[in-house]
Amino acid sequence: MRSRNYDESVTDETTPDDQTLGLRELKKRQSRVAMHRAALELVHEHGLGGVTVEAIAQRAGVSTRTFFNHWTTKESAIIGVLLEGGEQVAARLRERIQEIGPREGLRSVLRDALASAPVDMELRELKKQVMTSEPKLHSLSSGNLLSVQTEMIEVLAESLDGEHAQERATLSVQIGFAVTRSAFSVSMARGIDLGTAFDEVLDRYDEGDSVF
């Protein structure tokens, strides 16, 4: 696979939501996307075992120090959707709940997670191929998502009243993650950005537009 010029390619990831970011945050996001792309390309070319952090950093045009400012391992750069661990996401959820309440707080955090994902369809298709060819990555991704969900459920349950708060929190988080998965599918099928897809799926859910 031909390597891309990342100084040029990162601009392809700019979306309307980027207009609300400061220049520093926008550059950080673009750098993450460049490293994510580099990691996927290298695994596609050489397999997971043939890829190093140094090689990812070199292809993305960053230092290894910069790499570790964003990712803990090469696998995290390859998976690349959730940029934070369960504790960080839980802390953000707790803040949002205090600001706008449990319902909107949860939705806001999930939308933020989608905003961190690349919008480039070619890149997302490449990730799909890599994840299919490397089963270990599926296990790591699933474990990461489970950890994030568990942390989010605990935080959400704290904010709910009643004896069934834990069950309600579990159901709400699981539904929330189902909505995000549907948003990915809609986005890929119709070629629209993830934020728009998330809002559309959420509107359908709120309107009861399902057979469940």
The CATH number that applies at residue 127 is 1.10.357
Same domain for 4 and 101? no
Q: Is the pLDDT of residue 16 over 50?
A: no
Same domain for 186 and 136? yes
Same domain for 38 and 117? no
Same domain for 38 and 105? no
Q: Residue 27 sits in which domain range?
A: 1-80
Locus of tokens 């959707």: 81
Do residues 38 and 71 make contact, with C-beta atoms less than 8 angstroms apart?
A: no
Domain final position from 36, 55, 80: 80
Distance CA 17, CA 3 (A): 27
Same domain for 89 and 72? no
Domain final position from 58, 80, 102: 80
Q: For the chain, what is the mean pLDDT? A: 83
Q: What is the pLDDT of residues 76-119, one digit of tens each?
A: 889 875 445 667 888 999 999 999 999 999 999 998 888 766 66
Alpha-helical runs (H) found in 47-120? 53-60, 64-70, 74-79, 86-100, 102-115
Contacts of 136 (CB under 8 A, 6+ apart): 48, 75
Q: Is the pLDDT of residue 45 over 80?
A: yes
Distance CA 143, CA 46 (A): 24
The CA dihedral of 155, 161, 167, 173, to the nearest 10 degrees, is -40
Contacts of 38 (CB under 8 A, 6+ apart): 6, 56, 57, 59, 60, 77
pTM of the model: 0.67
Same domain for 122 and 198? yes
Same domain for 19 and 92? no
Distance CA 38, CA 77 (A): 9
For the chain, the C-alpha Rg in angstroms (whole number) is 18
Distance CA 33, CA 95 (A): 26
Number of domains into which the chain is organized: 2
